[in-house]
Amino acid sequence: MANTIHLKVATADRLLVDSEVSAVECPCTTGYIGVLPGHAPLVSTLGLGTLTYTPAGAGSQKNVTVTSGFIQVLDNSVRVLADSAEII
């Protein structure tokens, strides 16, 4: 089984992140959720907060601030549709 997740973070006017990661933590309206490889399919709404992900292989954690939006987890791919987002 694959041990990475494909993370895509997009806003209406650009694609911010499109890479293989090993873990994602993101701010849902119901609280932060962590996603690791093999996560069950999930759909939720995003709240205001910081999305953190760890790039696959070597690399330090990266942060992206997102406001409201959606997240879908399916087959080791995480799609984040943010109303606005900024890499910090």
Partner 1 sequence: MPSLINIRRRIRSVNNTQQITKAMKMVSAAKLHHARDRALASRPYAGMMTQVLSDLAAAAGGIEDPGDLPLLQVREEKRIQLIVVTSDRGLAGAFNANLLRASERFIEDHPKADIHVESIGRKARDYFARRSVPISGEHVGIIEKPRYEDAKAIAAKMIGLYSRQEIDAVYIIGNEFKSVMNSNLTIRRILPIALPEGGSQIDFIYEEPAGELLKALLPRYVEISIYRAMLESVSAEHAARMTAMDAATRNAGEMSERLTLHFHHARQSAITTELIEIVSGAAALS
Footprint of partner 1 (CB under 8 A): 8, 10-15, 18, 28-30, 33, 40-45, 70, 72, 74, 79, 81, 83
Asked whether 25 and 33 are in contact (CB, 8 A), the reply is yes
In angstroms, the CA 16 to CA 10 distance is 6
Min dist. Cβ of residue 8 to partner 1 (A)? 7
Q: Which residues of 34-51 are buried (b: 16+ CB within 10 A; e: fewer)?
A: ebeeebeeeebebbebeb
Report the residue number, 55 or 70, with the smaller CB distance to partner 1. 70
Min dist. Cβ of residue 58 to partner 1 (A)? 26
For residue 77, the tally of other CB atoms under 10 A from its CB is 13
Min dist. Cβ of residue 41 to partner 1 (A)? 5
Report the residue number, 45 or 50, with the smaller CB distance to partner 1. 45
Report the residue number, 1 or 40, with the smaller CB distance to partner 1. 40
